[in-house]
Amino acid sequence: MLIDEFLRILRDDLGLYLSDTDVDLELRDVAGWDSVHLLSLCTLLERRTGRELSLPEVLTAPTLASIYHLAVR
């Protein structure tokens, strides 16, 4: 999965209209971000990649970019 597809998920599936640079913001600084978005994103990423994400790692990820890297590693 490329970062463009990740951004498309954030925009189209989660309704978060973020710029490319917003993925580097701390999660608490992402406009509209909440725990429901986190769980939804994890589910979508697992479906798209066919891989399970480590919940402890996702919960400690400081940015969307960090979550992306966990999904594609």
pTM for the structure as a whole = 0.93
Going 50 to 45 to 39 to 68, the CA torsion angle's sign is positive
Name the token pair of 15.
């309704």
Instruction: Break the chain down into helix, strand, coil percent, rounded to 5.
Output: 65, 5, 30
Name the token pair of 17.
């209209």
Name the token pair of 2.
């490329």
pLDDT of residue 6: 95
Domain holding 31: CATH number?
1.10.1200.10
pLDDT of residue 12: 96
What is the pLDDT tens value at each position of the chain, 73 positions in all? 899 999 999 999 999 999 889 999 999 999 999 999 999 999 999 999 999 999 999 999 999 999 999 999 8
pLDDT of residue 1: 86
Question: What range does the domain containing 54 cover?
Answer: 3-72
What total of structural domains would you count in the chain? 1
